[in-house]
Amino acid sequence: MAATAALAARTEPAATPATADLKGRLETALHKLFRFDHFHPGQVDVMTRVMEGQNTLAILATGAGKSLCYQLPALLLDGTTVVVSPLIALMKDQLDMLAERGLRNIVALNSTLSEEQEAAARARIARGEIKIAFVTPEKLEDEAFVAMLTKIKVPLFVIDEAHCISAWGHDFRPAYLALGQVIATLGNPTVLALTATATPAVREDILIQLGIPNTRTIVKGFDRPNLCYEVVRAENEAAKLKSLKELFQGGLEGTGIIYTATIKNALEVQKFLHDHLDLPAAVYHSKLQKHDRVSVHNLFMGEAIRAVVATNAFGLGIDKPNIRFVVHYDLPGSVEAYTQEAGRAGRDGERSRCILLYRMSDTRVQNYFLTGKYPGVEDVQKIFGTLEYFGGQQDGVSLADLRKISQLPLTKLKVVLALLKKAKFIEMRARARYGLSQGALENRELVLNLTNYETKKAFDQSKLAMMLHYSETRSCRRKFILNYFGEDFEAANCGACDNCLRSARVGAPRSEAPETRSGFHIADVVSHPKFGQGTVERAEKDLVTVLFPKVGYKTLLASAVHREAKIA
């Protein structure tokens, strides 16, 4: 995962008459089909490349209009565009929005459909009646469905939330691992991968996993000047609640979101707001019934409440531009997760506050989550043994039965199945039913290598450490975030984070110039005698933070590493 030239946004070539004509078509379609007046930054670049048949990875900030980047080209291209989306709620939002504009040749295939509904949707796709087919990544594990797609024209293959394909991303989803093979099976249509949060290492891994390693990356909009980043240190839970009270009493304006790491904390914070501040707030989490989720959503959108107190289940697909604050009551697991959630504030461009309430012991919850994500050898052996025991069942063993027999958490079980499938130990025999492959039956000596997942666990723990660094840094928080995502920030004072504002008030010396005393810059490739080769993510004074492929992020003395020649 050393730095490569493919990771940087390259200079655009001079516009040709054909390109200018294409941009005119896109603008006409924007007004006619979507009734929008103008494009957001980066959208035209992405759409032009897609229409010209060029594979593209687009890193666009939350609220920058990622969905339009594939919706508009899909309606102009001949054939059926396939859009891989990880969340059913996101699909529904897209379908509803397109239907409001009179666009009904769109379908979504996911687990909510009955057999009859799915059969009808598949028939419409097979007849070439559909312009956009939204599918979950799990749907593309169905070989019969993929075979059907090979018989129609698929001009564009879209991967939304593309960081989910990377084992180094913050929301890894095992089913995404099969997408590279699906793209090849479909004859390599134009690929558009989209995400709001991807570090340089994750960007590179996305392209490798999709089988398009030399694809150009477009990066737009990580710097959100209207967002003010703040951290409030607390010694215990009582101090956190006191700080929350002071925030609202001290002029926290408008409506917003308060994120917690657990449902228990969400319920307790909502009760505190109600009992001690008489503040109207609602709770949102994954275990709410559908009608309750809809009710909370409507209250929030209608500003009948001041805040939604929620786990990370809330926010994706929420189209509310005037969210004035996002408070994190608990420490997120990574800077990616934090910026994605905090970035839901201020999409209208007005000043908004992103506040983290932090105490050191918050890391225990995130470490607990990490423990539940990664399989050990015994977990893999348990699943393999179960499939072997029931090997006589021609249609395999269902996911539900595997979970019941193994007693593994669903996330961990899916990771095990993805590992076994990628190693060609198992095969999917029917819808969510698994059996041992012929290769596994013929060669019992095969041993699954879990080294990558031990590395992944260490990597995620290092990302949690980076979140701690963000919480404790005394330098510019905006610079920290931009550096993390591979962008330089050269302003001496951002004027919109607590540290820079504090520095301005006390008349402290201006921060150092970009050429810091460490002598290193963002994206420099360096070597360490123990950790090997890595890429500089931050450089400040006599310290550097380096991303090493095998151990994750390490903050070291600059003298502990030496510069390597950059890879062109």
557-566 exposure pattern, b = at least 16 Cβ within 10 A, e = fewer: ebeebeeeee
Summarised one tens digit per residue, pLDDT across range 114-173 is 889 999 999 999 999 999 999 999 899 888 999 999 999 999 999 999 998 886 666 777
Q: What is residue 537's three-state secondary structure? A: strand
% residues pLDDT > 90 (the chain): 45
Q: Thinking of the domain 5-220, which architecture would CATH place it in? A: 3-Layer(aba) Sandwich (3.40)
- Residues in Cβ contact with 553 at an 8 Å cutoff, skipping those fewer than 6 apart: 462, 463, 465, 466, 537, 545, 546, 547
Two structure tokens written together for 445: 């000596």
Q: Cα–Cα–Cα angle for 221, 224, 225, nearest 5°?
A: 135
Q: What's residue 9's pLDDT?
A: 39
Q: Residue 324 is encoded by which pair of tokens?
A: 């004035």
Q: Where are the domains of the chain?
A: 5-220, 227-362+474-501, 376-449, 514-563
SS3 325: strand
CA-to-CA distance for 63 and 404, rounded, in angstroms? 40
Return the minimum-mean-pLDDT range out of 14-18, 31-35, 458-462.
Answer: 14-18
Cα angle, residue 146 at apex, residues 144 and 151 outer, rounded to 5°: 100
pLDDT at 52: 95
319 vs 363 pLDDT, higher one: 363
Domain covering 376-449: architecture: Orthogonal Bundle (1.10)
Q: What are phi and psi for residue 434, nearest 5 degrees? A: -125, 150
Sign of the C-alpha dihedral, residues 512, 514, 519, 524? positive
How confident is the model at residue 447, as a pLDDT? 52
Closest by CA position to 176, among listed 187, 191, 165: 165
Q: Which of 211-215, 326-330, 504-508, 526-530 has the highest mean pLDDT?
A: 326-330
- Helix axis angle for 477-484 and 335-342, nearest 10°, is 120
Considering Cα of 429, then 435, then 437, then 442, what sign does the dihedral take?
negative
* CB contact set of 287 (below 8 Å; sequence gap of 6+): 263
CATH fold of 514-563, please? Thrombin, subunit H (2.40.10)
Do the domains 227-362+474-501 and 514-563 sit in the same CATH topology, yes or no? no
Question: What residues pair up with 526 in beta bridges, in sequence order?
Answer: 534, 563
C-alpha of 297 from chain center: 22
Contacts of 241 by beta carbon, 8 Å cutoff, 6+ apart: 269, 272, 276
Q: How confident is the model at residue 516 (pLDDT cuts 50, 70, 90)?
A: very low
Of the candidates 195, 197, 258, 172, the residue with the CA atom closest to the CA atom of residue 57: 195
- How many residues are recorded in the chain? 568
User: What contacts 24+ positions apart, CB below 8 Å, involve 526-535?
Assistant: 526/561, 526/562, 526/563, 526/564, 527/561, 527/562, 527/564, 528/554, 528/556, 528/560, 528/561, 533/2, 533/564, 534/2, 534/561, 535/1, 535/2, 535/3, 535/200, 535/201
CATH of 227-362+474-501, one of 3.40.50.300, 1.10.10.10, 1.20.120.1200, 3.40.50.150: 3.40.50.300
